Chain A
Amino acid sequence: MSNNALIQTIDLHKTYKTEAIETPALNGVDFTLHEREFTAVAGPSGSGKSTLLHLLGGLDRPTSGEIFLNGAAMSSLSKDQLSRLRLTRIGFVFQAYNLIPVLTVLENTAFVMELQGVVRRERIRRARAILTELGIEQYADQFPNRISGGEQQRVAVARAVVTEPSIVLADEPTANLDSKTSHELIGLMRRLNEDKGATFLFATHDRRLHDQVSRLLTLEDGRITQDQCR
């Protein structure tokens, strides 16, 4: 494990307010993530895993507390700057509906690069390369609805890592997959972590996947109750 702090959170709180009801989702989360780590966030449903990932990814803002990304405070960023940060520094894999239905697998893989303004030739080349690396180049010209859920998630991983972000955040990427496919997907992420040094943080409540990680954070009622390195 390297000692470079990639993400540091300080007393992170998030409370959702809907009309009269206040739902506390995070109640003081402090932890540090390092580069090249391969970390899972475990915890029961409603423990705040998604909330935490959203805050780290700049998709939402904490009620209080601070997140530092490479030493820079995220609370000081404007909405547009957060958007820019997501584009350039964060890779996302969501639970489902990761892909844009009207784009082919190849175009989906290249989509973030397109937003970044990478020239067409270059982004096609890089997208093809990553698809080949992940063993799904044969689907390059297919539309997402023509391939299986596991394959769709692989494409999402390909899209997340192809831009070489500081960190890939994956919120229950295996939730809709059977256990064999889940295992393969996490294995794939692990391989990218080891070969390319990509940093991953993913949420899951599937205990069987916990063996594959290098670090396991357990979240309960909006607090980190366990932090295990293996």
Chain B
Amino acid sequence: MKAAIRHLKRNRGRTILTLLAVLIPVYFLVFMFGFSNSIVSDMFETATRIDTGHFQVRHIERRGMGSAIPLMQDSESVLAALDEIDGVEWRTVRLDMPALASAADRSQTIYIQGVVPEEIAPISSIGDLVVEGTYLRNGQNGAVIGEELADLLNVGVGDEMALLCAHPETGLGVLKVPVVGIYQAPISAMGRTIIHTTLTTARQLARSPAATAVVVRVDDVEGPWDVGKIEAVTAQLTGSLPDELEVLDWRELAPQVSGYMRILQPAMIIFAAVFFGLGALVVLNTLYLSVMERTRELGLIISLGASRWRVIRMILTEAGLIAVIGAVYGALIGVALVWIVEAFGGIPLPGADLADYMKVVGMSPVLHMMISWPQVVVSAVTMVGVAILAAWFPAYRASKLEPVEAMRYVE
């Protein structure tokens, strides 16, 4: 060990190179993961807060996601069952239905979420995003719409819109509602389509006392990777549900988020593999050079009777030492940079166009970063493992040296 440290000190230049070969991939990955974590959890938060919740209870025959027919007759008992379960942060009844909104000569297909305002407001859903007017109050006849829709229909707060809902069983529902508030959507498609009315208004329009779903959020879910907590709650619930109801989690309800994660994950893994691979190559190379340079010394050690395993261990110790130091520093630098970026409030995206584009996919125009400790640890540990693996080749070559030849070796 002491000898390993002195060997590393003897050739500082190469040691630093090796150190960097380990440090840079770890630091870079931690930093990159910082971005991707934040992007994914942004999308996740947006989708689960405003639209899907962490999971929903729905009727089995929901006749497609766009169906106008609310089928859940007895939402009260589901709410009661949820209130008995630990870990439920929040739950509410919702009636979702597609509709047509029109004002004057303009109209637009929209998606109505009929909500219970007093239940939905505390979890800062669309209520927090209202930039003009106010959010709904209980029992109020009105609608909160997105900026995009307000532009399309050319309506403002106080103006009336007509909502039309084609109901396959009960016929056409028509209702006039005033715009009471306008919200700024995190995703432009959402601002164009999703409007909030009270559950009462939505039921009137649908001409049905039923609901579409009970939407649930679970306590302390950190991000899309944190599925365990959600599953713990759904597991408690499924037993007590009547046969015609089922649980759907956000992965089924917001396939765009899980789809994005499915694309991002292999991309990051490939990215990581390339970086680890490059790091490993440098480690292999520098260590191999170092073994070549020490041929005579290694020959001496083998002559004196060091076993092959002993020689291998010697080289691996050096590699391991450097790898651990490099990985720890890499991780620290990565984490420190993420914190610094966050301390300055994230990285604002240059140019309005890009920011608009980000809004289309539901990401904030300021890039934030987020540390996931398991990822940091896994990155660092993997790099150490890969470096030691890469060190096997030079170590093996060292152990295979013929003592007499090695000692005659002249640099």
Contact = CB atoms under 8 A, between A and B. Distances in A.
Interface of A: 54, 57, 59-60, 80, 83-88, 90, 92, 94, 97-98, 100-103, 107, 111-112, 115
A92 B10 CA distance: 26
B3 A83 contact: no
B385 to A, nearest CB: 26
Interface stretch (B128-136, B229-237, B302-310, B338-346): B302-310
Nearest to A85: B305
Given A100-B3, A102-B7, A92 B404 contact: no
Chain A to chain B: the 8 pairs with minimum beta-carbon distance, closest first: A87-B305, A86-B305, A102-B6, A59-B403, A59-B404, A115-B306, A60-B404, A112-B304
B407 interface: yes
**Majority SS at the chain B contact face:** helix
Nearest to A102: B6
A130 to B, nearest CB: 16
Interface string B305-331: 111101000000000000000000000
B305 A84 contact: yes
Contacts of B10: 101-102
Given A60-B404, A100-B3, A102-B3, A86 B300 contact: no
Contacts of A115: 304-307, 310
- Size bracket, chain B contacts: 20 to 34
Interface of B: 2-3, 6-7, 10, 296-297, 300-308, 310, 403-404, 407
Contacts, number: 57
Given A100-B301, A102-B6, A83 B404 contact: no
Contacts of A84: 305, 307
Residue of B296, B307, B403 contacting most chain A CB atoms (<10 Å): B403
Nearest to A54: B404
22 contacts: A57-B303, A83-B308, A86-B303, A87-B306, A92-B303, A94-B300, A94-B303, A94-B407, A97-B300, A100-B3, A100-B300, A100-B301, A101-B297, A102-B3, A102-B10, A103-B3, A103-B6, A107-B2, A107-B3, A112-B304, A115-B305, A115-B306
Nearest to A98: B300
A59 B305 CA distance: 9
A102 B407 CA distance: 17
Given A84-B307, A103-B3, A97 B302 contact: no
Nearest to B408: A50
B144 to A, nearest CB: 74
A175 to B, nearest CB: 14
A219 to B, nearest CB: 18
A97 B301 contact: no
A114 to B, nearest CB: 10
Given A60-B404, A102-B7, A88 B305 contact: yes
Contacts of A107: 2-3
Given A112-B304, A112-B305, 13 more contacts: A60-B404, A86-B303, A87-B304, A87-B305, A92-B303, A92-B304, A98-B300, A100-B3, A100-B301, A102-B6, A103-B3, A107-B2, A115-B304
A112 B7 CA distance: 19
Given A102-B3, A102-B7, A97 B305 contact: no
